[in-house]
Structure 1
């Protein structure tokens, strides 16, 4: 540690910086797992980190509590609770916890958290925008613009998200900072072969999969629409959909109507992603819009070749013909062609899988992400907000 870092550390020994991570709720998901990584991973000698949810706690929140971390839930219904009450409840939370730094995640916590923080003696207010904008909502753009002046930093996960927030919300450039997600590669290292992983999950043949909430944004229906053509060409095909969400029933119905229901395995929420990813031959990210999908980084970190749509952060991490293939969003035929290409070239799958892991190792380390975030929090604590 350099002299400056050592001085910071010694100066904080008797007074850790209190950081509150505020989010709507903590089910299994990319933003939610990121919050958990921050709570678990920040230097405990420098930071006292706590998470809070405006709505119900969720599985990730329960896991954090079980492991001894502080998590508070207001357990409010964001759709039915009046606006003013939401702000007042969050303000009461901030008053009780008295954090030095408030870090909010996603639109509603960014809104209610920053409004509630007005006039409170916080050293720093940080808001994270996790997704690019698929449509513009004028009231949201206005709130984001106005509240940018109360924020010390607005963190975004990719260049496309930076451009959306700058252009549509009119947030000043000096407030914006790109902080890509990072993944912990050690969690993906399991001592079994791909075939052994398939056997464990009761699978065989050529396995294609994706991980993510079963929501419109993730584009699962376009992957399912590609399956009739794929199944004609690949008689040993198996498809894994990992996750839960509002589209689950519709996706099951679509698979049955297309006559491919026997090929699709709906695995629900899984916390053994190392095993699930090891069983896949190709990972597909068919999203319609994104920030930077954590699941994609995990798949690449697991050494899988990837097929992704050419949207936002996906196109920033997949390099065509180097570590995977890019296709237009909402294009099932292009998805099918890309998967068939990877099936026909096992040498490319192996080569691109190695390149994918190298991409994540070099540029998307969880450790590097956490150290950058610590640097930001320390700078805000010291009053260096520019």
Structure 2
């Protein structure tokens, strides 16, 4: 027996760790629920070159994303906080980074970065910040917006590399902050997972949705930004004119209770189906005819890209990230945010036309195939990691 095999297990582990050539990257995000940023992180971790990198994930809440990562065999830690800039957690974050021999930190979103940048700088480690969407918006209270702009300016200045998920996301930063710099890396989709040619389970049967109705789908958090209540109102108007419509709303969030009550008040409880966040998003998309995302703002919405990859007819709003991907009446339909009350009901009815849905869906899938690949996204990010690590080794 070799000397190596005679070592106690704990010493063997330390020996292997110290002699490993793999680069340990901390991918950190604000929550363990499934949303756009969380789906992005899952795709990135899944596609990273495992011969070169060893990802570790830090989430600030528990949830299905954390469960999924653990199933994948990815070391995942939860340090609970729902607050940005939660100073009470900073030392614990620093201790976790030190104990796990992290060599580079990649923060996904404002809240994650606000709770890791101090530890990263104290430990003199490179920091990458992906801006999935700015935390400030025009419809906010001016004082809240000012505070958030100051917070984002601090975070972008403290990061070694800022990644914008869309060109419009980058332009918003340049307009707001003097000297803001970022690299645009579009979100990417796993086109094997989101492939309409695959076979899928029958979600319509599972949820008792008739096969002959036009099914409109909303998959997003129930929050003000995504406007689920606006969609319910529009659907109520559409279904009065066309009773064969159904609406499936998948997700959770602080407006969910209000949405449930609203459906009852409008008398459309039989036409609207609610479901919590699900891991089987491709199956859910396969069941739908139309995908609607009536957002007030977006970075580059992953749910939208997934629906496009599945060849769905899209209704989106003329906001930054969405209008960068969707060309009106070419690969989807775009509506002005200001006129949704009037335009969304009729647009939903318009998409009961199977020929129109097929034309838009084919073009949507072609857009994803040519531009939004998860593998391509990951290779770009790996290139940024390598450049930054070389700079820090000098």
The TM-score with structure 1 as length reference comes to 0.89
1:195-237 CA-partner distances (Å, limit 9, x unpaired): 9653454212111111101111111111111123211221211
Residue in structure 1 matched with residue 87 of structure 2 by the alignment: 84
Counterpart of 1:70 (choices 69, 72, 75) is 75
Worse-matched range after superposition: 243-252 or 128-137 = 128-137
- In 1, Cα distance between the equivalents of 2:328 and 2:82? 43
Distance 1:354 1:326, change over 3 A: same
Aligned to 2:344: 335
5 Å matches for 1:90-169? 90-122=93-125, 124-132=126-134, 133-134=136-137, 135=140, 137-169=145-177
Change (3 A) 1:92 1:191: same
Q: 1:158-187 deviations in whole A, cap 9, x for unaligned? A: 2222122222243523xx111111111211
Aligned to 1:230: 238
- Structure 1 residue runs of 5 or longer lacking an equivalent are 1-12
SS in 2 for 1:118: helix
> Do the aligned partners of 1:144 and 1:169 also contact (CA within 8 Å) in 2?
no
- Residues paired across the two proteins, number: 366
Alpha carbons 1:194, 1:280 under 8 Å: kept: no
Asked whether 1:280 is paired with 2:288, we answer yes
CA contact (8 A) 2:32 2:65 kept: yes
Find the aligned partners of 1:148 and 1:167 in 2 and give their Cα distance: 14
Within a 5 Å distance, the mapping from 1:198-213 to structure 2 comes to: 198-204=204-210, 205-213=213-221
Which digits, 9 at most, give the CA deviation of each residue in 1:86-131, with x for residues without a partner? 2222222222223211111121221221122223232x21011111
Aligned to 2:32: 26
The 8 Å contact of residues 207 and 282 in structure 1, kept in 2 or not, is answered as yes
Deviation at 1:145, TM superposition (A): 2.2
Distance 1:84 1:17 in 2: 28
Mark the CA change 1:259 to 1:304 in structure 2 (over 3 Å): closer, same or farther.
same
The answer for the alignment partner of 1:61 in structure 2 is 66
Cα 1:226/1:100, change in 2 over 3 Å: same
- Structure 1 residues 4-19: aligned runs within 5 Å: 15-19=21-25
Whether the 8 Å CA contact 1:115–1:147 is kept in 2: the answer is no
Measure, in 2, the Cα distance between the counterparts of 1:36 and 1:196. Answer: 25
Q: Partner of 2:115: helix, strand, or coil?
A: helix
Instruction: Structure 2: give runs of 5+ residues left out of the alignment.
Output: 1-18
Q: What is the root-mean-square deviation of aligned Cα atoms in Å? A: 2.3
Q: Deviations over 1:339-383 (max 9, x none)?
A: 12222x321211110000000111111111111111111111122
Q: Could you state the TM-score of these two structures normalised by the residue count of structure 2?
A: 0.87
Distance 2:65 2:41 in 1: 9
Q: Structure 1 CA distance, aligned partners of 2:177 and 2:304?
A: 27
Equivalent residue, structure 2, for 1:264: 272
In the alignment, is residue 47 of structure 1 matched against residue 53 of structure 2?
Answer: yes
CA contact (8 A) 1:181 1:294 kept: yes
